[in-house]
Each structure stands twice: as C-alpha cells, then as structure tokens.
Structure 1
Amino acid sequence: MKLGVYNAILHDRTLPEAITVIAGLGLTGIELNSGGFLPATHIPTFDDILVSDTARDDFLGLFEGTGVSIAGLNCNGNPLHPTAAIGDRHAEDVRRSIRLAERLGQHRVVTMSGLPGGEPGVTQPSWIVNAWNSAALDVLDHQWRIAADFWRETDRLAADHDVKVALELHPQNLVFNAADIVKLVDLTGATNLGVELDASHLFWQQMDPVAVIRHLGPLIFHAAAKDVRINTAAAALYGVLDNRFRRLSPDEPRTNLGGDEWANEWPKDAAWDFVALGRGHDVAYWTEFLRALHEVDPDMLVNIEHEDVSLGRIEGLEVASAVLLEADAALSASLVGSA
C-alpha cells in the first residue's frame, strides 16, 4: 500500500515544503485538495494544467526526486446543496477534479455524496438521521432522486476519464453508511463510484471500519487514516449525536464552507473527538485495518488526515505516521510469515 498525508493540514506551507515534511515522516504520498470546502492551495496552476501540457509537466516536476508523489485528489464539499452559490460551485469542483486527475495521471478523486434540501425551493440541506415517520421517507425519496441524477451523470464523466470517485461516508450527507453506498450504486448503475474509507466517521457512529471494508469489498477505492476517541463520560450524557456546537462570530478565526456557511466550534467536553492515530485505537487495530484494505487492493492509497486539535500540525503528523508505519510493518511481517 501507499501511505501518505491529506495535505489540508499543510496548507500553511508551500507545496515543496509540504512534500519535504511528508518525506521526512517516511511517507510517500500526498493527497491534494482540489476544491470544495477548502481551496486548491497547492495547485495554483489548476486552470493551466487542464489545458497546457507544459503547465502539467512543470507541476509534476515539483515531485521529481522527492520520494513523494500525488496520491489522489480531494474536493470534499456538498455538490447537492440547494443554495446554488454552494452546490453549483462544489459540483463543478467535482467535475474539474475528475478532469484534473486524468491530466495528472491520477485515478482517485475523493469527495462527499452531498445533501439536498428536504423539498423544492428550500435553501438549506436537511439531514434525516432516523426516518421513523412517513414524512421523513418522503424527504429521503426527494433527496435520493436529486442525488441519483447528479451521480449518474458524474459517474459517466468519471468513467470517460478513467477516474474512480471515492465518497467519504460522512454524516450530514445522504450517503453515510454501508447501505447507502450500495443503494446509490444500484440506483445509478454506477461503475466508477465507491467509497473513501475514512475510519473516523465510522468509529463515532459505532460502526466497525474493518467489518465495513470486508462487507463492501471492491467498492472501497481509497482510505483515510484518522482516529476517534469516544469520551465515555460525556457520551453517557449526550450520546454520539452530541450537538452542543457554538456559532463563531465574524471577528473570530473560522473556516468558510461556501457562501455564508462556516464551521462551528466543537463542544469543549465533546462526546467524541478526532485524535491522531493510536490515541483512540492501538497499533494492533490499525494493522487489521490495513490488512482488510490489503485484501481489497494491495496498492490501496491510505492517507493520514490530521484533525487532532490537541497536537500541532507537525506533531500530530509525527504521532500518526509512527503508528501507521508500525502497523504497516506488522502487516508486512505477518504476510511474509504466512507465505
């Protein structure tokens, strides 16, 4: 497998500086953000690369001799958002990322399935968490029609460009568990839609990432190495759907998600937290995570995503990469031993 880093945590550096950090960690891949919620910071010549072989070759030349190469593109966003200023732009980012991937010799684009509004004419998405009543199923029927139309067309584009689109199973999206991705593929007849297996969002939903990998098999296209710690005392009071977020004011540092939407502040004593690898699940667990991915594809791209706010950018990557490399070495040793 190819082990790397999703580059958003290194957006404070230039691309060559980010590559140097990743090489110093002993990793070999960088997953480049190409739009959506975050800008394509490390692809400043994006538009030129789409049309110019010289621009493409100049960009690829930045990786020569570094020991680090591109390990997929990432444009996580909401391409089905009912507000055009967000949904239309994020949808176009997905299409542009597919075209860019082909230009760069890449075959994986990571994104999210998106989430439409609950009925025609609304401006905000509506996430049905538990469809126990018939009205909720009516909303889902409406949303699935929108999603199927978009992803059917996008799948054709991806197939035309020899790209697999890997959807992160992320809550507040229509597709957030194993049943949903199977439903989307069945509805669309897709050949190039599958999953980016980010373990973190499965952990806090009380799902088992290893079981999900083995259940979905060839629908797993790509993976993110990101851990979660359940804080049992808070979870006992608030559950894993802990919703005590705080709205950040315009004079506070905050992340724009498109239009006039912004990321909120996490609860201070949250029921669960994103943590660096090893702080929620040990090396033995990550070894089995890699083993399951290896069973699907020995060349799977597995990239660290660092969102542990208790650790600095480099510190968090160092902690995570040490665990991931130890797990990979343990897997390799066990495969040799069983040969």
Structure 2
Amino acid sequence: MRIGFYTNYSKETAEFAHEVGFTSLQLSAWPGSALDANTTTDAQLAEIRKDLDSKNIQISALGYYPNYQHPDDHEREAAQAYLPKVMDLASRLDVEVVATFAGQDPRLNVEENIPAFKELFSRYCDLAEKSNVKIALENCPMINVVTMRGNNIAYSPEIWDVIFDVVPSDRLGLEFDPSHLVWQGIDYCQAIKDYASKVFHVHAKDMEIDRKILARSGILGRSFAPKKGLDRRWWRARAPGWGEVDWPKFISAVIISGYQGNLDIEHEDDVFASMQTIHSIRSEADVVSNYSQERAGLRLGYNTLSKLIVT
C-alpha cells in the first residue's frame, strides 16, 4: 500500500511528493486542471507519466466530484457529459479508478433521488466496462451549511446497500473516507470490512470534533457563526493524526478487508491551510486547487501514516 495525496498535477507538486516520500498521487481531472479531459493530449499524458514514473509515483485514481443531479440544467448537463470523458482519460493513462460523487437533487430526499441515480450510473457503468475502469463514489454527504441539504447521496452503509442493489455492477464501488463517518457516528472500521469488495480507493483524512460547539449548537450545527474555511460546524477536517480517527485500528481494518490500492491524503485541514492564502472555495475543484498546495499538513499527514504502513 502506497501513501499519496489528492492534487492537481504539476512538476513542482510531483517534486514535492518525491522529496517527502509519497509514492502515490490521485490527480484532479476537473475542467481547467492539468488533466482536463476536454483538452489534454496523448503527448501531454506521456510527459506526465514519464515525470511520475521517474519518481516512482503511481497515479492511484483520477478525481472529479460534481453534482450530477444539480437543479441548474446547465451545471447538471455539463457534469453528466464530462464524466465519460474522464473515464476515457483514465483509460488512456492506464489508471483503473475514477473517483466521483453520486450526486443529489437537494430539492428531493435520498429515496426520491434513487431513480435518477439508477438511470445515470447504469449508463456510466456500461461505459466503465468498455473503458476498463472502475467508478468509486466518495462517501461525503456534502451538506450545505445554509440549506442543510446534501449534494451526494452515497454517504452511509444503509444507502450503499440500495445503490449497489439498483446498479449491480462490479464497476461501481466506493472511495472510502473514514472522516465522514466519524461525525456521522458510523463505525468506519466495521464499514470498510463490511464493504470490502466495493472499496476501490481510500482517502486518508482525519476529523476533529469540537464538543463545546456540539454541546451548545446540537447536531445541526451553528446557524449564525461566521463561515470560515470549509464550514462552520462542530466537526472539522484535519490532517491524518490530528483528529479522532484511530489510524492503527483503521489501517488494520483496511488490511483485513483485503484492499490492494493506495492510501491518499485528501487535504482539507483549515488549521494548516491558514498558513497560506486560501482563495474562494466554491466547489471541490477549488478545494484541491487550494488545500493541496499547503505543504505542512501533507508532511505531517505523511509522518503519521508512514509509521503504520510498510510500502
């Protein structure tokens, strides 16, 4: 199992990863990224592959996380049209996993979103079969702090059972992130063992719980606090080792589950990110563009994980 992080590709980032000891990268494939599925040529892919190969860095997965059921017609249609291009890009790069969200129309409840999910991802899984890639759904609810509605239905084991039942494809699985299960109160170690055959990629992110805020605001979170960083809730994403995830226990569960992929840090730690200027955060594309450039959190996360994994 290799240790890496989710980032936009650049030669500077690859050099940093190599210098620290990372041997895996999950690369952003959003429009406008270095791996823009609309514009990246085979020659550019060959250069990226050559650079990473020279540093013994694997590409573990490509990442693209829009809302495929967005209420806005233009955003929804653009997202739905782009994912097949990302799958083709992954095939051209010989990358097995494309990580994404399931999406959610926030005007509807989870159950009401299932028919649209079934129709869309049944088609995507057929395309994944042809491209010889797998689709990994990240388990983040993507709760909007203003509306308290989510943009991604694939956030709990109860729902995973339904989505894997309605789309029974071996091309559809999970990008497992323990941090999102911590604040939901879900047993992340049991969950990864229960869904072992469906775990295609693993994110390493920690979760800090502020129990003073929780005791005062309750589980729905604060309503009037200023929005800072990614949220204003009682939970906060942290670098591995700086939150409540039991990393020896979790990595043991990962190994027991038989997972054969890499472990990639998804850096969303506002504490370390405050050391540099963070620009506007409007989407997951902005998250990876900003947070993955902050080096201290990545170094400290690597220090935590590297003591627990023999690469």
Q: 1:27 to 1:102 in 2, by over 3 A?
A: same
Quote the residue 2:276 is aligned against: none
Q: 2:139 aligns with which of 169, 190, 197?
A: 169
Aligned length: 282
Q: Give yes or no for contact 2:182–2:244 (8 Å, CA) kept in 1.
A: no
Q: Give yes or no for contact 1:244–1:266 (8 Å, CA) kept in 2.
A: no
Q: Give yes or no for contact 2:22–2:57 (8 Å, CA) kept in 1.
A: yes
Trace 1:231-310 onto structure 2 (pairs within 5 A). 231-244=210-223, 266-267=231-232, 270-281=233-244, 285-310=246-271
Using the alignment, how far apart are the partners of 2:95 and 2:214 within structure 1? Answer: 40
For residue 298 of structure 1, report the CA deviation from its aligned partner: 4.6
Quote the residue 2:121 is aligned against: 151
Q: 1:264 to 1:83 in 2, by over 3 A?
A: farther
The normalised TM-score by structure 2 is 0.83
Runs ≥4 residues deviating over 6 A:
245-248
Quote the residue 2:197 is aligned against: 218
- Structure 1, unmatched stretches of 5+, are 117-124, 129-139, 249-262, 333-339
> Greater Rg, structure 1 or structure 2?
1
For residue 57 of structure 1, report the CA deviation from its aligned partner: 2.1
Q: 1:62 to 1:176 in 2, by over 3 A?
A: same
Alignment-mate amino acid for residue 88 of structure 1: E
Alignment-mate amino acid for residue 258 of structure 2: D
> Do structure 1's residue 33 and structure 2's residue 28 form an aligned pair?
yes
For residue 163 of structure 1, report the CA deviation from its aligned partner: 0.9
- CA RMSD between the two structures: 2.3
RCO higher in structure (CA 8 A, sep ≥6) = 2
Greater mean deviation of Cα atoms: 198-207 or 89-98: 89-98
Using the alignment, how far apart are the partners of 1:16 and 1:159 within structure 2? Answer: 32
Greater mean deviation of Cα atoms: 286-295 or 162-171: 286-295
Quote the residue 1:70 is aligned against: 59
Sequence identity of aligned pairs in percent? 24
Q: 1:314 to 1:202 in 2, by over 3 A?
A: same
For residue 288 of structure 1, report the CA deviation from its aligned partner: 2.1
Q: 1:318 aligns with which of 286, 291, 299?
A: 299
- Structure 2, unmatched stretches of 5+, are 142-149, 274-293
Q: 1:146 to 1:46 in 2, by over 3 A?
A: closer
Cα deviation code 1:247-274 (max 9, x no counterpart): 98xxxxxxxxxxxxxx98622xx41111
Using the alignment, how far apart are the partners of 2:180 and 2:22 within structure 1? Answer: 23
Trace 1:189-208 onto structure 2 (pairs within 5 A). 189-208=168-187
Q: Give yes or no for contact 2:65–2:99 (8 Å, CA) kept in 1.
A: yes
Q: Secondary structure at the match of 2:220?
A: coil
